[in-house]
Structure 1
Amino acid sequence: MSAADTTQATGTGVPAQRATEEPGHVPVKSSPGGTRRGARKYKKGALLPYLLILPAIIAVAAVYAYPLVKTVIMSFQDMGRRELWTGQDPPWVGFEQFTNILGDSEFWMVTARTVLFMTVCVVITMAAGLLIALLMQRVSTWIRLALTAALVAAWSLPLLVATSIFRWLADSDYGLINTLIAKVVGEDFLGHNWFLDPWQGFAIISALVIWGALPFVVITLYAALTQVPKDLEEAAQLDGANAFGVYRFVTWPVIKPVFVMVTTLSVIWDFNCFGQIWLLRGSKPEPEYETLGLYSFSKAFESTSFSQGTAIALITVLLLSGVAVYYLRQLIKTGEVE
């Protein structure tokens, strides 16, 4: 078809190819050289984030990779005091350390104690943290700021100082807890030692752990609650939903990913609880107060069975890894549903 025929076909006096173009359109011809330069720039820009975090990755690998590899190797050896002092290579024993540990009833008793202690602390921490976070939404600004400042101050308190405070509170002779209870039940309660009974002793330890974990949980959950759309809550109330219905169908789906993540961190932290028990018991915790972390330490340094202690630590890491993987899978499923 000729140019004249094309012009007649359009009926506008403009060739068909130009008629389909928008007014002011300037065709741009791409050159192979420009495409290659753009690709190179894109590759450089894509590599930039990885180059920026490379020093941090190297530092983390240097700090954590070597101890982890050394722990795995030592768990398959039989390192004692002689090998530690002389520098001799310890003999390889394969899975003997793991077989001895898993066949020991004391290990399973300590594991059950650790799981029970962790469960109580996490449940109370998350329940109290969520209630306090919900309360912070309903108080005035000044009260919320004062409560936030108090939480941050408690969060920044060193573990040694916090433990000293709780040791004074639970002291058998001068403790505030005994003094307050004695005013209610009678003077006979003065001089009561809370740590003679492991159940009562773990109640004091749990109170210390929960008190130290609450600030992080409350502040994080309150930040998640601020992301709940107010218009959705108002729409649910207009549709006749009560307070529980609004929380269940509007608030909870929004804060659930954050709640699960904080719960995961709480499980890991409370499962590895060491300093609180160690300091409250004067650096010499009784066997009744041993959790997996203290049990591993006791086997390694008090029984001088370093390989057995590292094997217990490795089992603990594997248990925590399973918990973390489970919760991360739940988070991924939640993201896919949303």
Structure 2
Amino acid sequence: MTAADTKAADPPAAPPQKPGKVAPGPSGGGVRPSRKPRPKLPYLLIAPAIVAIGAVFGYPLVETVIMSFQDMRRAHLWGGTTPPWVGFEQFTNILGDPEFWWVAFRTVLFMVVCVVATMGLGLLTALLMQRLSTWVRLLLTGALIAAWSMPLLVATSIFRWLSDSDYGVVNSTLSKIPGLDFQGHNWFLDPWQGFTVIGAVVVWGAIPFVVVTLYAALTQVPRELEEAAQLDGAGVIGVFRNVTFPVIKPVFQMVATLSVIWDFNVFGQIFLMRGNKPEPEYELLGLYSFSKAFDSASFSQGTAIALITVLLLSGVAVYYLRQLMKTGEVE
């Protein structure tokens, strides 16, 4: 048999398949590659944590939703009787009350000011840490961690002493400036001044987390890109706007979103600074819900306000989760 006959006897070669396609089987259908079964061990390992989270957070949330459609009073709470169902009456009363909208506006305004101050000061401090020597940076980091770990009760007590009308350091320091007399000045008679002191407590407690997180993000900025931008004639602001900030932007957005959630729910700072009895002009949504539930003995109204607050923050929480998922995909 010649070479030509051998070549003719061989079966014709199959045409090359395009990438991503599967060659047809004998019956004409495509042969799908078998998928490996997903391991069940990771789900079993996190199951106890999911059950615990569901018990700690899920049950109170369900009870809050149920109570907001009832009229729970002290008699029902202590007597163990079932409160009557009132439907959406609690929500219509709250949303139709002008006081609620003033409190909501005050809450949003306070949150915006605190978030802007926290992110601005935190970013500036993180940029400053890049230009410090190693041992100075370590000392500053230790001081930030110490401030962050300080209990809220201790922090508010310090700021109450600083702003005290008779023995406060702030009043005595300002009085030493020519033309100023702050001896005996009460910062909490005017809500604008009072919220300035409270905002200082909130910002002071939030800056350490922002600084440490943003500084960690700044360490990931390629130095060669910044040097190339400087060689091209870009100034300090231009380098930050076009090179540095685009790299740290995902982290900056996540930290800002967390700050929005935290500052929207400020409760302890105001409650402790005002001696556990905040005046109505110092009420934010959290304190407003607490006041309606316990001072007015309308627990259902308080839970309805809390549920409205959760709904207002749900959009921010969804945005935070989306940013977190995008960051995970990039990495």
TM-score by length of 2: 0.87
Q: Is the 8 A contact 2:174 2:181 kept in 1?
A: no
Give yes or no for the alignment of 1:83 onto 2:115: no
- 1:140 aligned to which of 133, 141, 161: 133
- Structure 2 residue 101 is matched with structure 1 residue 108: yes
What corresponds to 1:192 in structure 2? 185
**Paired letter, 1:234:** E
Structure 1: how far apart are the matches of 2:88 and 2:2? 87
**Aligned pair 1:302/2:288, yes or no?**
no
Alignment correspondent of 2:17: none
CA distance in 1, matches of 2:323, 2:140: 32
Give the counterpart letter for 2:146 in structure 1: A
Alignment equivalent of 1:61, drawn from 54, 60, 63: 54
Aligned residue in 1 for 2:142: 149
Tell me how far 1:248 sits from its aligned partner. Answer: 1.1
SS in structure 2 at match of 1:299: helix
| Partner of residue 33, structure 1 | none
1:241 and 2:234 are equivalent in the alignment: yes
Q: Deviations over 1:69-108 (max 9, x none)?
A: 0000100111111110111111111110000000000000
CA distance in 2, matches of 1:59, 1:207: 35
Q: Secondary structure at the match of 1:285?
A: coil
Once residues 144 and 334 of structure 1 are traced to their aligned partners in structure 2, the CA distance between those partners, rounded to angstroms, is 27
C-alpha separation between the residues in 2 aligned to 1:133 and 1:102?
A: 42
SS at match of 1:43: coil
Out of 85, 97, 122, the residue aligned to residue 129 of structure 1 is: 122
Instruction: Write the distance in 1 (CA, Å) between the matches of 2:242 and 2:41.
Output: 42
Residue 4 of structure 1: CA displacement?
Answer: 6.3
C-alpha change, 1:226 and 1:3, in structure 2 (3 Å) is farther
Deviation at 1:308, TM superposition (A): 0.2
For 1:323 and 1:120, the matched residues in 2 are separated by 17
Instruction: Determine whether 1:259 maps to 2:252.
Output: yes
Aligned partners of 2:104 and 2:285 also within 8 Å: yes
Q: CA shift at 1:324, angstroms?
A: 2.5
Tell me the percent identity. Answer: 75
The question of 1:51 aligning with 2:23 is answered no
Look up the SS of the partner of 1:189 in the other structure.
coil
| 1:211 maps to 2:204 | yes
Give 1:239 shift: 2.1
Counterpart secondary structure, 1:200: helix
CA distance in 1, matches of 2:190, 2:104: 19
Deviations 1:106-129 (A, max 9, x none): 000100111111110000000000
Asked whether the 8 Å contact 1:129–1:218 carries over to 2, the reply is: yes
Question: 1:285 — aligned with what?
Answer: 278
Residues 114 and 263 of structure 2 are in contact (CA less than 8 Å); yes or no, is this contact kept in structure 1?
yes
Deviation at 1:329, TM superposition (A): 4.8
What is the TM-score with the length of structure 1 in the denominator? Answer: 0.85
Mapped contact 2:258–2:320 kept (Cα < 8 A)? no
Dislocated runs of 4+, deviation >2 Å: 2-9, 42-45, 185-188, 323-338
Query: Over residues 195-228 of structure 1, what are the superposed CA-to-partner deviations in whole Å (9 max), with x where a residue is unaligned?
Result: 1110110000000000000000000000011111
1:117-170 Cα shifts (integer Å, max 9, x gaps): 111000000000000001101111111111101000000100000011000000
C-alpha displacement of 1:8: 7.6
Judging changes above 3 Å, is the alpha-carbon distance between structure 1 residues 85 and 267 closer, same or farther for their aligned structure 2 residues? Answer: same
Q: Tell me the number of residue pairs that the alignment of Structure 1 and Structure 2 aligns.
A: 308
Change (3 A) 1:5 1:95: same
Aligned-partner Cα distance in 1 for 2:122–2:288 = 30
Q: Identify if the C-alpha distance between structure 1 residues 331 and 157 changes in structure 2 by more than 3 Å, giving closer, same or farther.
A: closer
Q: Which residue of 2 aligns with 1:119?
A: 112
1:247 shift after superposition? 1.0
Partners of 2:271 and 2:277 within 8 A in 1: yes
Match of 1:25 in 2: none
Specify the alignment match of 1:275 in structure 2: 268
Name the SS for the 1:56 alignment partner: helix
Does the 8 Å contact 1:110/1:290 carry over to 2? yes
Rounded to whole Å, the distance in 2 between the matches of 1:334 and 1:56 is 24
8 Å CA contact 2:118–2:206 kept in 1: the answer is yes
Equivalent-residue separation in structure 2 for 1:3 and 1:324 (angstroms): 77
Which residue of 167, 174, 178 maps to 1:174? 167
Is the CA contact 1:260–1:331 (under 8 Å) kept in the aligned structure 2? no
Alpha-carbon distance change, 8 to 168 in structure 1, aligned in 2, over 3 angstroms: same
Which amino acid letter does the alignment assign opposite residue 102 of structure 2?
Answer: M
Distance in 1 separating the partners of 2:5 and 2:143: 81
